[in-house]
Amino acid sequence: MSATCVVHAGEQATGTCPRCGRFLCSRCELDTAGNCAACATRLQLPAIVMPWEHRERLGLAKAFWEQTKLGLSSPRIYVSAISPEGRWQDAFSYGWLMSGLVALLSVPYTAFNFWRQGAQMKQTMAALGNSAPMLLIGDLYEWLGNYPLFAAAVLSVVSVLSYPLLLLFRAGTQQLGLRVTGATPRPLNVTLLAGGYAMAVGVLMAIPVLGGFAGLYLLVVQIWALREVHKVTTFQAAFASLWPTVLIGCCGVFAGVAFAMKVISGMR
């Protein structure tokens, strides 16, 4: 029979405290040496702090780098360091800055994809018929292929400008999702904290080809952070984070089927 955590009843242990030897699970808050919270308190070790919250002392560049490095190298410690009592404005500014960096680094690869797919997609759409929607989509792809760098830059600017609205929308839907599962979430600002600071791993999305996998990893970290700050189950955090995507996806499938049927009927 596997060992269970002494702090979180029912959770399977994933390790032990190197000082006291107690079984601990992945939800336990550990210090940088891996000590449990009780041992860290007895040793009077300093609490883990977010470097970004000390940017006035460290400087913007160093605080941003240290924040990102902590999130990438020690995600478990990083997530446990997100304090529900923290200022949501700090997490928001960090997340927005990270989204800007990702958008800037992604411009060359996005422009290359627009250039490569532009003419190809126009030919593909032309083969599907000469209806107004087909011609419009074909012309759009042709324009993207002719002005790939400009199109990629515009897309990056739009993604940065839309970040505040997307963060607020995601936090609102997560709050609603948590309540649907029967949880009693903390205030909205706590959810904003989790969402903003989870962007530390978002820098991986700027890596060509691997960006899609990095997006999934970012989602995992967002769910993880949401679970920790609200002290809910993994299922509740996952449901709160995924239900809008599932709903929109289902609507998209129905719309896609309807569109395909219309195209097929127009080809007869």
Could you report the per-residue pLDDT of 135-184, keeping only the tens digit for each? 666 667 777 778 888 888 988 999 999 999 999 999 999 999 999 999 99
Quick one: average pLDDT of 31-38?
73
**Angle (CA) 69 90 50, round 5°:** 40
Contact yes or no for 119/140 (Cβ under 8 A): no
Beta strand spans in the chain (E): 15-16, 23-24
What is the residue-averaged pLDDT of the chain?
A: 83
Identify the pLDDT of residue 37.
79
Contact call for residues 175 and 167 (beta carbons, < 8 A):
no
Of the pLDDT bands very low, low, confident and very high (cuts 50, 70, 90), residue 248 is: confident
- Positive or negative, the CA dihedral 106, 112, 116, 121 is positive
How far is 65 from 69, CA to CA, in rounded Å? Answer: 6
Is the pLDDT reported for residue 193 higher than 70? yes
Predicted structure pTM score: 0.72
> Angle 93-50-9 (CA atoms, 0-180°, nearest 5)?
115
pLDDT at residue 207, rounded to an integer: 87
On the question of pLDDT at 266 being above 60, the answer is no
Which band of pLDDT confidence, cut at 50, 70 and 90, is reported for residue 1? Answer: very low
Q: What is the mean pLDDT of residues 197-212?
A: 87
Region of poorest pLDDT, from 116-125, 159-168, 197-206: 116-125
23 is written with which tokens? 């079984």
Residues in contact with 237: Cβ distance below 8 Å, sequence separation at least 6, in sequence order = 178, 223, 224, 226, 227, 230
10 Å CB burial of residue 38 (0-12, 13-18, 19+) is middle
Place of tokens 């960096």: 101
Find the Cα–Cα–Cα–Cα dihedral 212, 214, 217, 222, rounded to 10°.
-100
